[in-house]
Amino acid sequence: MPQSVQERNLMKRLTGLLFAALALAAMVWAADSLLINGAGATFPNPIYTKWFSEYHNKNPKIEFNYQSVGSGAGIKQVTDGTVDFGATDGPMNDEQLKAYQDKHGFGILHFPTVLGAVVPTYNLPGVTAVLNFTPDALAGIYLGKITKWNDPAIAAANKGVNLPANDIVVIHRSDGSGTTYCFTDYLSKVSAEWNSKVKKGTSVNWPAGLGGKGNEGVTGLIKQTPNSIGYVELIYAAQNNIPYGAVKNASGAFVKADLKGVSEAAAGVAKDMPADFRVSITNAPGKGAYPISTFTWLLIPQKISDSAKRDSIKGFLKWMLADGQNYTEQLEYAKLPKEVVAKESKAINTVQ
């Protein structure tokens, strides 16, 4: 292409200008923007994404990057020090806390952020009523001891419902998940046999049943299989209009899960909240408390050497406890009780 000298000079100057502008932009961005990396639980990912984007809008210089890779991976990454904070659906156990302490020379703190719940869902052709489940019935079904739908343990709590004499098809999560942690945590509290045989965890050695991958996998299997029972997150059931049953709580009432019942379960435990916030709220006391509820936590190192990062994380935590809580209910998460918020506000100051 024939070009005049003038044209070429102009092109050169324009290119130069472009590069200068890019370099300037990069410098400004690098100097002003602070990127904070986190990784962990998938269950609170929708609310965390919302929070981080809202917080970024209010504080354009601070940007959070959250990867929802799973609670186990979150704990591992924050322990390895590859991310600034972690997130988990089940609290770190003493062994994990010790591993963190040994590696870094200081501890890690748990900050509850929101609450979730797990609900029993089922596919029983011909039964339209909301079924009631006692703790014994749920534990018996998942232990593989209650095998028929018309078993007395189920029928006694569902008077007037015509339960079929069919075999129960038990469905659980196949992937490791906080949902399973919460569900097995509940079962190990209400059933001594479960507690000795299976115990609690993100994945367990299931005595009975089929596995589905994710909430959608479990729901898919239940829809495809008559006479089946499974468990999914309350949020997932609510958003997808999946019918679910009521569960008998510690004070003897059958409660169908909703945000109020979940918050009440947290409030029942809030008074005796341990200082490190590692508390299970399954089978919580309180008349309206929904028994299969859980906190989900952010994992924040006790010492953060980068002062800018430390201030940003502490600022975010304070905002999350105040304004942030207002975003929870539109996304179907239950709010933290006031007592817990007050306790956490104090705990934020211990991050150094």
Choose which of 51, 76, 282, 344 interacts with another protein (CB under 8 A). 76
Dmax over CA atoms of the chain, in Å, equals 95
- Buried (b) or exposed (e) across 176-198, using 16+ Cβ within 10 A? bbbbbbbbbbbbbbbbeebeeeb
User: Does 232 contact another protein by CB under 8 A?
Assistant: no
Q: Which stretch binds another protein (CB under 8 A): 133-141, 197-205, 269-277, 297-305?
A: 197-205
Report the alpha-carbon distance of residue 138 to residue 349 in Å, rounded: 42
Choose which of 132, 177, 280, 282 interacts with another protein (CB under 8 A). 177
Antiparallel, parallel or unpaired: β 108-123 and 228-233? antiparallel
Q: Which stretch binds another protein (CB under 8 A): 64-72, 101-109, 115-123, 295-303?
A: 64-72
Q: Which stretch binds another protein (CB under 8 A): 18-26, 27-35, 55-63, 211-219?
A: 211-219
Report the alpha-carbon distance of residue 133 to residue 226 in Å, rounded: 18
Closer CB to another protein, 210 or 341, in the complex: 210
Structure tokens at 42: 């998938």
Choose which of 48, 52, 55, 72 interacts with another protein (CB under 8 A). 72
* Closest among 73, 50, 332, 324 to 178, alpha carbons compared: 73
- Buried (b) or exposed (e) across 102-135, using 16+ Cβ within 10 A? eeeeeebbbbbbbbbbbbbbbbbeebeeebbbbb
* Separation of first and last alpha carbons in the chain: 63
Query: Residues in contact with another protein, total (CB under 8 A)?
Result: 34
User: Does 331 contact another protein by CB under 8 A?
Assistant: no
User: Does 164 contact another protein by CB under 8 A?
Assistant: no
Helix ranges (H only) for the chain are 5-32, 45-58, 71-80, 94-104, 135-143, 152-155, 178-190, 192-197, 214-224, 234-239, 259-270, 307-321, 338-348
Report the alpha-carbon distance of residue 292 to residue 14 in Å, rounded: 64
Q: Which stretch binds another protein (CB under 8 A): 7-15, 207-215, 265-273, 327-335?
A: 207-215
User: Does 200 contact another protein by CB under 8 A?
Assistant: yes
User: Does 302 contact another protein by CB under 8 A?
Assistant: no
Closer CB to another protein, 211 or 285, in the complex: 211
Residue partners of 141: CB distance under 8 A and separation at least 6: 154, 168, 170, 208, 229
User: Does 193 contact another protein by CB under 8 A?
Assistant: no
Q: Which stretch binds another protein (CB under 8 A): 29-37, 126-134, 206-214, 282-290?
A: 206-214
Please report, as residue ranges, which positions from 83 to 112 form the binding site for another protein (by CB under 8 A).
Answer: 95-96
Q: Which stretch binds another protein (CB under 8 A): 58-66, 170-178, 302-310, 315-323?
A: 170-178
How big is the chain, counted in residues? 352
Choose which of 38, 44, 70, 112 interacts with another protein (CB under 8 A). 70
Cα angle at 75 between 121 and 305, to 5 degrees?
Answer: 140
User: Does 175 contact another protein by CB under 8 A?
Assistant: yes
* Closest among 304, 301, 338, 303 to 321, alpha carbons compared: 338
User: Does 242 contact another protein by CB under 8 A?
Assistant: no
Residue partners of 349: CB distance under 8 A and separation at least 6: none
Closer CB to another protein, 41 or 320, in the complex: 41
CB 175, min distance to another protein, A = 4
Whether the CB-CB separation of 195 and 204 falls below 8 Å is answered with no
CB 37, min distance to another protein, A = 17
Whether the CB-CB separation of 62 and 29 falls below 8 Å is answered with no
Q: Which stretch binds another protein (CB under 8 A): 110-118, 172-180, 295-303, 340-348?
A: 172-180
User: Does 169 contact another protein by CB under 8 A?
Assistant: yes
Closer CB to another protein, 57 or 205, in the complex: 205
User: Does 217 contact another protein by CB under 8 A?
Assistant: yes
Catalog residues that contact another protein under the rule CB under 8 A.
Answer: 69-73, 75-76, 95-96, 167, 169, 174-177, 198-206, 209-213, 217, 220-221, 224-225
